[in-house]
Structure 1
Amino acid sequence: MNVNWRDFWFLYVAVILLAVALVVPHSIVGYAVTLVFMALTLFSPKNGLMLLLIYFPTRSFLMQVNPSLKIMGDAIIVIAFLRVLIDSRRDVKSIFKLHVFEWAFILFCAVGAVAGLITGVSLGAIVFQLRAFLVTFILFYVVRRLDVKKEDVLKFLWTTFIIAVVLCIHGIVEKISDRSMLMPQFWVDRMLSPNNRSRIYGLINNPNMLAVFLSISFMLTLYLKRLVVRASTKGILNVGMILMLGITILTYSRGTWIGLIIALVVYMILTRNWRVLVQTVILGVFATAIVYYPVVKAADAYHSQKEMENLPPDQQPEDNGDDLEPGDNGEDQGNDKEHSAASDRLNKTFSSETLEQSSQTGRLFIVKKGFEVFKDHPIIGTGFATYGDSAAKSNPSPIYKDYDITVNIYADNQYIVVITETGIIGVVLFAVFLLGMVVYLWKKRHDTVMAAPVLAVLFGILFCGLIYNIWEDKTFTAYFFMMLGAVATGIEMRRKSLL
């Protein structure tokens, strides 16, 4: 089955409408575009869900320009959920037919909510956190009840590829322009540390989440490449994967690099396709040679030129071309700064200075303090919106004063959040949720070849949970639960039946 680009009309419509909402950033325009997307989802749920592949990776950018677009993702998911319920009205029992890991996650959320109310968290803060966990989790329920076909999976894969390439191109512009082009003014003016300023934040406005998204896109593109036969199409996919790896390197997201390696190893073991390792190494070499180094050089040149233009006339260097030694021209100095910031970030990962700082105010401090809270509330924890989650970051936690926590911390560790906020009961339920998905995908590996890349992604994400609040990130969870739902439909994606 060849890709018919006329089937991607939803992508063209979405780009046009979102462009209008950005050019005319009025709330009425934003709400009108949201209503159009809701109507599309109601009449065509599958195409409506495809809009999420465009929306979530660019959500931060869209919201910054037009804040009224904030509710669009939630609105699309709710409408799709209601449409599924309407279609299931003749079989009421099927509505409540859930997998063990689904029930475990719902009960986990219930424990966190009840514990939060007991601790004294406001109802609004608890609802905030429940939304963070559940709104994209619903996508699994929705997708596995839709009539997902082979062409729908191909549209999912190609849309992901296109959006990933767009984010890569934007990331290159961001890097070369020193965050001064194609960025909202608020982002341009934002002060970042030298180490963080060397990283690409992208339209997703977070280097770690950008790296996670591009890593997932890379895995899906590897899978998509197995489904095509034309050499020209494979070449396009290779170029895209080189861009994805190059920008992933430029995010300097160390944890995501490890997660991607884990995912690739699991994928190779599951598929017994050892060529994936060789292919990834080759693509990585090209990414370093034709993306990473050229972009860094171009960024250094732009930065040096910008600094030169800002110097007063009496401080402008004379250009006689005779006395310059290598490294005296500003470009090499800028290059040194770039590599210094990047190498410092990598070399200091396990340095005594970094570990000491982390134990005082960073991740190690958060983990130690979390276990301190856990010891006082071991059964059901302190509840949602009390320690290091999205809601606690946006709302005052009632326990911080008792434990000498002076700032609204963000844990950047999903597991310590689960341990602290939901106690032993929550930990058991969350473990059933995670391991239940692993077992489910393992059993599905013979039903559809789609199970292998999704299981590989899950193993990578299990590691990423140590360094990010990964299950609260809507971009990742939207993609993952849609992929998991597609696996649940048991579609056979064989090359000979597709192309």
Structure 2
Amino acid sequence: MGKFNNVSYKVSWLAVLLLFLVVTAFQENVLGYLLGISFFVFALFRPKYAILLLFMYYPIRPFIIEYVSSLRYVGDLIIFGALLRIIWNGRTNVKSLINFKTFEYGYFAFIIIGATSAILNDISVTMVIIQIRAFILLYLIYYIVSRLKITKADIKHLLWITIWTVIVIIIQAIFEKLSVRTLFLPESWQTMPLSSKNRVRIYGMLGNPNTLSIYLSFVFLFFFYAKKYIAGANSKLLSFLNLSVLGIIILTYSRGTWIGIIVMLAVYIVLTRKLYILKDVLKTVLVATLLFIMPVVSITSYIESSEEGTEKVKEIQKYDQEGKSGFVDRVGKTFSDDTITSSKKSGRLYIVEKGYEIFKDFPIIGTGFSTFGDSASLRRVSPMYEEYNIGYQFYSDNQYIQVIVQTGLLGVIAFAVFLLHMLFIYWKRRKESFSALMVSVLLSAFVMGLVYNLWEADIFGLCFFALLAISVRSKEELMSLHASLVMKYD
């Protein structure tokens, strides 16, 4: 563990924390802009270290921009700074800069089709650019990292950054839960009106229970690997953190993520026949339930039953007042008649039905970006909504129906090339442990795309594309990197 204590990274962490405190204290947006520019310059000279900082920034980004909105584009500046450095480094070997794989061409084609269709349907260029950013920004993580040399030290630095970031997230999440969304939350989040089903969920520093659970799933996977294979890692610390991480994942009540985790675990065990992993995970679930979930839920229930707690619950729970919620309720009613009826009226089944209705009118290249339930259409109401009698605050929560509606048959083909070629690459190498993991992650992502707009989510894109960038390397490179991590001495 001592070997992980890198002085420069401790200084970097403290420096970033200090700068954040200064910016928060003064509430001056100009300081946020200066910080962003400073990170851009840093990324130009130290792209690898700048990318590592993103693993601290994105998990807390929604939280900090509630205090200082000018910190919103720090990630963009870091990524583009690192991208410019990669382009500069490759100026003498242009072929390395345009050496794309088939799945990348599929992704580019999908984006071009969506943008072209939007412009043909008179969607503003600004809104099209906003949606292109959502899809392309985190892909650039893959583009950059796949062209950087990844070393043992880089993985260890990433581990430490993740550890400290997750500790902060865990502390905030526990206080959020126990204080009935009062402590360690921006004021706008404290007063956010929630239904009875959503009020009990942990939103965390990501401000969304589904996004939080997706991020923590990647963290759980990383810690699980590090505990077993990274020499010098403190297995007791990582085990303790994973108990808390798993506890919070369960308390987000994010059923889509739960299903994704089960799919990933089942596929990996079938491909590798490592049954001991199932035993380890089940043991972790049991211990997390006894030592984390039950105490947190019991204390929260006691606090909510007090006079002050009851008033706070009434203040937050603005609608659905008679509803009950919790683990058993959410799981038990997933396929109930009431849930299905509600879904047909305004939920995911309604979204699919509306999507199919629009698709029949625009079957070839769709309606274009920013027209049907994507992040850009939340900023400016799509002209399609009035025509098809769709509510204004509409988000598809289904990546596939969004792709079908916005890009038509051509976009579906392009997106399928993107997804299936990645799967094909790793399926051919599935006997290798890392490739088996990627097959598992991909199939899990395919399933989760049915209930989330997964590929435009920053935190998923950061974790997935970084993992993809490491895994596309040759078998020899991966074995060498793994061997260096396992070695106890440098």
Answer whether TM exceeds 0.5 for this pair: yes
Whether the 8 Å CA contact 2:200–2:325 is kept in 1: the answer is: no
Name the CA distance, whole Å, in 1 between partners of 2:330 and 2:468: 34
* Alignment partner, residue 244 of structure 2: 243
Cα 1:270–1:388 change in 2 (3 A) is same
Letter of the structure 1 residue corresponding to residue 192 of structure 2: R
CA deviation after TM superposition for structure 1 residue 429, in Å? 0.7
* Alignment partner, residue 61 of structure 1: 63
CA deviation after TM superposition for structure 1 residue 54, in Å? 0.9
Does 2:381 correspond to 1:396? Answer: yes
Name the CA distance, whole Å, in 1 between partners of 2:435 and 2:46: 25
* Alignment partner, residue 139 of structure 1: 141
* Alignment partner, residue 289 of structure 2: 288
CA deviation after TM superposition for structure 1 residue 300, in Å? 1.8
CA deviation after TM superposition for structure 1 residue 243, in Å? 0.5
- Aligned to 2:478, the other structure's residue is in SS state coil
CA deviation after TM superposition for structure 1 residue 439, in Å? 2.1
1:93 alignment partner, one of 86, 92, 95:
95
CA deviation after TM superposition for structure 1 residue 477, in Å? 0.2
Instruction: Spell out the pairing of 1:225-240 with structure 2 (5 A cutoff).
Output: 225-228=227-230, 233-240=234-241
Letter of the structure 2 residue corresponding to residue 13 of structure 1: A
378-387 vs 147-156, which moves further: 147-156
11-20 vs 94-103, which moves further: 11-20
- Aligned to 2:334, the other structure's residue is in SS state coil
* Alignment partner, residue 478 of structure 2: 491
Task: Give the fraction of aligned pairs with identical amino acids, expressed as a percent.
Answer: 38
- Aligned to 2:396, the other structure's residue is in SS state coil
Whether the 8 Å CA contact 2:343–2:350 is kept in 1: the answer is: yes
Whether the 8 Å CA contact 2:109–2:414 is kept in 1: the answer is: yes
Instruction: Spell out the pairing of 1:79-478 with structure 2 (5 A cutoff).
Output: 79-228=81-230, 233-307=234-308, 340-443=325-428, 449-478=433-462
Name the CA distance, whole Å, in 1 between partners of 2:33 and 2:325: 45
Deviations 1:272-302 (A, max 9, x none): 3221100000000011111111001111222
Cα 1:293–1:143 change in 2 (3 A) is same
CA deviation after TM superposition for structure 1 residue 51, in Å? 1.0
* TM-score normalised per structure 1: 0.90
Name the CA distance, whole Å, in 1 between partners of 2:230 and 2:97: 37
Deviations 1:83-115 (A, max 9, x none): 100000001122111011111101100000001
Name the CA distance, whole Å, in 2 between partners of 1:270 and 1:309: 50
CA deviation after TM superposition for structure 1 residue 433, in Å? 0.4
Letter of the structure 1 residue corresponding to residue 75 of structure 2: G
Cα 1:397–1:304 change in 2 (3 A) is same
Structure 2 regions of 5+ residues with no counterpart? 313-321
- Aligned to 1:401, the other structure's residue is in SS state helix
Cα RMSD, aligned residues only: 2.2
CA deviation after TM superposition for structure 1 residue 339, in Å? 7.3
Q: Structure 1 segments of 4 or more deviating over 4 A?
A: 308-311, 337-342, 443-447
Name the CA distance, whole Å, in 2 between partners of 1:17 and 1:49: 18
Letter of the structure 1 residue corresponding to residue 300 of structure 2: A
- Aligned to 1:400, the other structure's residue is in SS state helix
* TM-score normalised per structure 2: 0.91
CA deviation after TM superposition for structure 1 residue 229, in Å? 5.2
CA deviation after TM superposition for structure 1 residue 498, in Å? 5.5
1:45 alignment partner, one of 47, 66, 89:
47
Name the CA distance, whole Å, in 1 between partners of 2:278 and 2:101: 34
Cα 1:364–1:36 change in 2 (3 A) is same
Name the count of aligned residue pairs.
472
CA deviation after TM superposition for structure 1 residue 270, in Å? 3.9
CA deviation after TM superposition for structure 1 residue 309, in Å? 9.3
Whether the 8 Å CA contact 1:174–1:200 is kept in 2: the answer is: yes
> Which protein shows a greater Rg?
1
CA deviation after TM superposition for structure 1 residue 308, in Å? 7.2
CA deviation after TM superposition for structure 1 residue 118, in Å? 1.0
Whether the 8 Å CA contact 1:77–1:138 is kept in 2: the answer is: yes
* Alignment partner, residue 464 of structure 2: 480
Cα 1:122–1:20 change in 2 (3 A) is same
Letter of the structure 2 residue corresponding to residue 144 of structure 1: S
Name the CA distance, whole Å, in 1 between partners of 2:271 and 2:310: 55
CA deviation after TM superposition for structure 1 residue 363, in Å? 0.7
